[in-house]
Amino acid sequence: AGIDLEAVVWRESGRIGTYYLDFATPPRPTQAIYDRAGSCAALLQPEDISWEYLLGSRLLHLTGITPALSTSCAAVTAEAVRRAREAGVPISFDVNYRQLLWTPQEAAATLTPLIQGVDLLLCGLRDAALLFGCTGAPEEVLQALAALSQAKQVVLSTGEGGVVAWDGERVLQQPSVPVGMIDRLGAGDALAAGVIHGWLDGDLAQGLRYGTMLAALALSQHGDMVVVTPAELAALLAGEGGRLVR
């Protein structure tokens, strides 16, 4: 995939964390079973990180899953936030709550200080209520999250209702893309990727359009990795999807 592996921390021994998915259709939910305790990733320490390499970037993206894995991973995340702020590197943070990893109270206590003043905060409607007590209409939840976090820009996903966002001056709305769902896995990460893609170009509104389309692509395929070129994404947004391309 062309990913630079220079800063990967390799271990001589240890185990790889895994998780298993039990797929189902309504009314039975798809369930995940985690086996991550004691994995190499969970044992990561702040001193393991090549900070100069990590912060030589346009944006540092973090998620709420990492600090949930272990005490040391929480320390790594906090150190990443601290160093990024000192270096003036923008931070995006996806709350991404996982109830099988920690309780709402634990998550809120850890994540609330981490998200203060981030450049881009992403959160789901359910997570906003469960962790931070932000309830009401989507626009009200959005403003409550902005006040709680003091984030410069906030994106709130509402599922089938699409996304609403605060760009620092106004509320933006983007409906979801109708889709025949095959696999729910990866839709949230696809949304975040699209939003960040637009944000890096200085256009959050376009990022919302990218994100909702990528989320739809994730839902319409098996697996959690969406592979699409910028040209293909632009064609889909232009309404060329669904036809036979020869």
Q: Which residues are catalytic?
A: 189
- Listed in sequence order, the residues at least 6 apart from 139 whose beta carbon sits closer than 8 Å to its beta carbon are 164, 171
Which residue stretches of 28-124 are H helix? 51-54, 65-69, 71-87, 104-114
Is the distance from CB of 158 to CB of 181 less than 8 angstroms? no
Helix axes 187-200, 204-219, angle to 10 degrees: 150
Angstrom distance (rounded) from CA 60 to CA 91: 5
Angstrom distance (rounded) from CA 53 to CA 96: 25
Strands 60-63, 31-35: pairing kind: unpaired
SS (H, E, C) 148-202: HHCCCEEEEECHHHCEEEECCCCEEEECCCCCCCCCCCCHHHHHHHHHHHHHHCC
Angstrom distance (rounded) from CA 198 to CA 232: 15
